[in-house]
Amino acid sequence: YYANVSRSAQPSPIDDLKNIFQTPALTSQTGTTIEMGARGGDERSKWDLAIYHAWLNQELLTIPTPPNFVNFTTTNAKSTVHTGIELGLESNITLGLFTADDHLRLRGSYTWSRFEFDNDPKLGDNRLSGIPEHNGRFEMLYQHPNGFYIGPNVTAVSSNWVDFANTLSASPYTLLGARIGWDD
C-alpha cells in the first residue's frame, strides 16, 4: 500500500520562444497531486491499482491558432483538475503443451481519466481534449522457455473531445493486434 502528496512545476517549453512577446505572458505550470494505491501478487499473478487527483494552476496547453488550424501555440489554463484510476493485472498459467515450462501470460490494464477545466471563465468545467475517459488493453501471449512468444491483443478507447469547447468528439475505437517475437 502506498500514498503520497507531491508538488510539481513546469516552465513553458523552450521551443515556444516564438511566443515570448505573447500577451498575457506564459507562466510556469504548478500543481499538487495526491495518489494512493496498492500492488501485490505472487509468482503466478500480479496486480496494481492507483487512484489519483491533481490540481493544476496555469496548466500549459497547446491550442490551434486560427484561422488555419495547422499552426499551434501554447497557452495557460487558469485552473484544471486531473482525476484517474489505473488498474493492471497479470497472470501466468503453466501449460506444459510443448515443454514443461511453457506458459500463457495474460495481461490487462484499464485507465479511467477525467481531466477538466476548473470553473474556467470561458470553458466552465469542460473536459480537456484528446484524453479519452476509458482506455483498456488486454493481451494473451504464449511463451516458450526458449524465448519465443506469440499472441493476440486488443485495445479499446472511448470517445474523447477534440476541442476545449467540447463541441466535436472523436469516435471510440477498438484495435485488434498480434505480437510474435523472441526474447533472449
What three-state secondary structure class fits 163?
coil
Q: Cis omega before residue 64 (within 30°)? A: no
pLDDT at 73: 77
Residues of the chain short of pLDDT 50, as ranges, are none
pLDDT at 87: 98
DSSP 25: P
Q: How far apart are the first and last CA of the chain?
A: 33
CA trace torsion 150, 136, 160, 22 (10° rounding): -80
Q: Which three cell numbers stand for residue 184?
A: 533472449
Residue 57 belongs to what H/E stretch?
A: strand 45-64
pLDDT at 29: 92
pLDDT at 7: 97
Name, in order, each residue with C-beta under 8 angstroms of 67's C-beta and a sequence gap of 6 or more. none
Give pTM, 2 decimals.
0.84
pLDDT tens digits, residue range 91-129?
999 998 889 889 999 999 999 999 999 999 889 999 999
pLDDT at 19: 57
